[in-house]
Amino acid sequence: MSTSQVLWSYYIYEYKKFIMPTEVIINGLSGQSPFNIYLCDNPVSTCVYVDTITGGTYNFGIPEIFDGQTSFNLKITTGGGCEIYQTLTI
């Protein structure tokens, strides 16, 4: 991570399941774009590609494959080849 640094903050909101799934909001990304966003189980054995973004604020619902889990790993890869993991707990 010597040539690129990724910084972000995240928020997790859990709505009632019948209204809306759990949502992850990423903001404040910095580093070399584009950023590939993945959500993984904890410990990391299965990762689901979410999207590729260039920065700004981004939000997404937790995929159904992870229904019932309360701990995840957010994985972000940068255009510079860095991989960053952040554990998220609901």
* CATH superfamily, region 7-89: Immunoglobulins (2.60.40.10)
User: Is the CB of residue 44 less than 8 Å from the CB of residue 75?
Assistant: yes
pLDDT tens, residue by residue, 39-59 = 998 888 889 999 999 988 899
Domain ranges of the chain: 7-89
CA distance 4 to 39: 21
Q: Which residue has the tokens 């957010």?
A: 74
User: Is the CB of residue 11 less than 8 Å from the CB of residue 60?
Assistant: no
Q: Which residue has the tokens 């799934």?
A: 21
pLDDT tens, residue by residue, 26-35 = 888 888 999 9
Edge-to-edge strand list for the sheet holding 71-77: 47-53, 35-41, 71-77, 83-89
pTM for the full predicted model: 0.74
